[in-house]
Amino acid sequence: MATALLLLDVQRDMLLTPSVASSLRTLLSRARNAGAPVVHVRSDGQPLLFGSWHGETVVDRTDENAFLGSALTEALPAGSRLVVAGVWSEHAVSATVTAALGRGYRVVLASGAHEGFTMEAARRVEDELAAVGAVIADADAVPFS
């Protein structure tokens, strides 16, 4: 089963705390080094914070749930496990993870590599998503093999 990295709204116009930005950069680097599929989801056509490499897919979303009205389903390898990270925990991250679980994906939310309006809100989202079937794992410990 392939493991794909799904980055939500990791764009230049987002104000990320330094620790989350660092975790996202490291997570992306680890996925790229492992040859894992990487899918960047952005809103409003904004430039990506870390850019995209050849072979990586960029999907534009129009809804908090990145699956609605976009080509996200087609961009993900069938039957893949998804490692999800990005911005905003309470909105796009929560809605997209919930939708992915509903579509039968195994989902890992990379703790430390998603950002909410507050740290407490991000932790609350982790608890809520764990309760509906997402695995919460430290971003540094997520395997891509």
Q: Give the pLDDT confidence of 72-118 residue by residue, as tens digits.
A: 999 998 889 999 999 999 999 999 999 999 999 999 999 999 999 99
Q: How far apart are the first and last CA of the chain?
A: 9
Q: How far from 100 is each of 6, 82, 83, 103, 130, CA to CA, in Å?
A: 11, 8, 11, 5, 13
pLDDT score at 116: 95
pLDDT tens digits for range 126-135: 999 999 999 9
Q: Tell me: pLDDT of 20 over 90.
A: yes
Band of residue 31 on the pLDDT scale cut at 50, 70, 90: very high
Any residues with CB less than 8 A from the CB of 134 and at least 6 apart, and which?
84, 97, 101, 107, 108, 109
CA angle, 18 then 23 then 27, to 5°: 150
